[in-house]
Structure 1
Amino acid sequence: MSTSHQSVRRPELRADCAQCAGLCCVALALTASADFAIDKPAGEPCPNLKHDFRCGIHTRLRDAGFPGCTVYDCFGAGQKVTQLTFGGRDWRHASDSGAQMFEVFAVVRLLHELLWYLTEALELAPSLHGPLRRALDDTEQLTLGSPESLTALDVSAHRSRINDLLLQTSELVRAGVSSAPMNRRGADLIGAGLRGADLRGADLRSAYLIGADLRGADLTAADLIGADLRDTDLRGAHLARSIFLTQMQINAARGDVATTLPDRLIRPPHWS
């Protein structure tokens, strides 16, 4: 398996809150739970959002009962929608377009997530370079559309087409690691005891790994796209060569200094 994908970095796919009008703090609904201290409907500003679109409790979100905010990642969609799609306007000063801005944000966020996966896939599967390059360019072009074209986009259909290519990429990578990789796609592994497990080349797409014990597990070339890693114990786990892993998944899990990560991801500050 190629390891060059570990060097993939696209700054535009990382959130830059200083260039965003606090879109996630308004567009998204919050439900009082272990993740959020309050209920907040979609389209209503979070009470912690300041006039300059900064979070008033950013440095103490977890202590204040908002760990979910430290997990969320927009893949850079916030700054693109604010600065490019709407030309620097914000929902406070252009209230007539606020609802449209939030709708566009949801679409661009999904497209940017696909760009994240496609960028990695290009490094992972040279034999699929042509179709992957075209898919990435097409997706990038879609993100540059007008608010009207973005809200009219059938993003589910586009995502389905991209997913076919990502599946092909996954199969190529995983076959190079294990002749009979484990298939636990969509499996209910909530709370599963997988400490030290050999999960090399495993298909864990959309698997529910909430609260699972993966301490010391080897997830080399394991496909983790869409896997739910909330409160998953990744202490000492080998994730440096896992595929289709996102910052949001890592932020939701638990790890430590012994957990290895792809260098395109940032070790969460709340990890021990």
Structure 2
Amino acid sequence: MVDQPVDLPDMRVGYGGGIPPNIGEGDRAAGADGIRENLDPSWLRGDPPWLELFRVWLGEAVDARIAEPNAMVVATVDENGHPSTRTVLCKGADESGIVFFTGYDSDKGRHLAANPHAAVTFPWIGLERQVHFRGAVTPVPVEESLAYWVRRPRGSQLSALASEQSQPIDSRIDLETKAAAVADELGGPDSDTAVPLPPRWGGYRLAPTVVEFWQGRANRLHNRARLTLGTDGWQAERLQP
């Protein structure tokens, strides 16, 4: 039996409660985020003006039990201008930017060496919310990488030490054998022997120059508020959906 093809054009989600508003009324029903008020550039305040609302939304994603609320899609561009995306976990968000960790020789690490700029998206679809960041990316100091490294579970440390990230390997068995050998060298998975920070592994910080908040609303009349960093500081504006 041949499976029936999925009708992608007919897939629709009724954002914002699905109730069309009258002009000037905004939405008459809250969306999945439970907020009746429409996202507005005036919500963006503080220094930097994106941080307060980002922390509120992240906390509400945690409270709503969104799966891995700190997961974000990271987009990079290689030396030939070809883009690539993947999902990683955000491990820091403060005044200086957004932090994540990876292998410096991974695909994303090599892309960032050639073109040190990236875009990230937090896709909290279950709350009909997204936050997008764009900006320059730099490696964090080794002390910062080490401070995070020692907090990682031992199994994750051993895997990172064993893996030549993004490089080919013949089979799953080969990968498991390689990881087991590294674990044995350090006394096994349950040993108290410290796992050293791999020299080609560490953190990156994206210092945003563009930040956009997105809130789903009925009839695809979504709310978008964008911050752009210029010579005169941050400028906020509403965007059409």
TM bin, normalised by shorter chain, reads under 0.3
Taking structure 2 as the reference length, the TM-score comes to 0.23
Structure that is richer in helix per residue: 1
Using structure 1 for the length normalisation, give the TM-score: 0.22
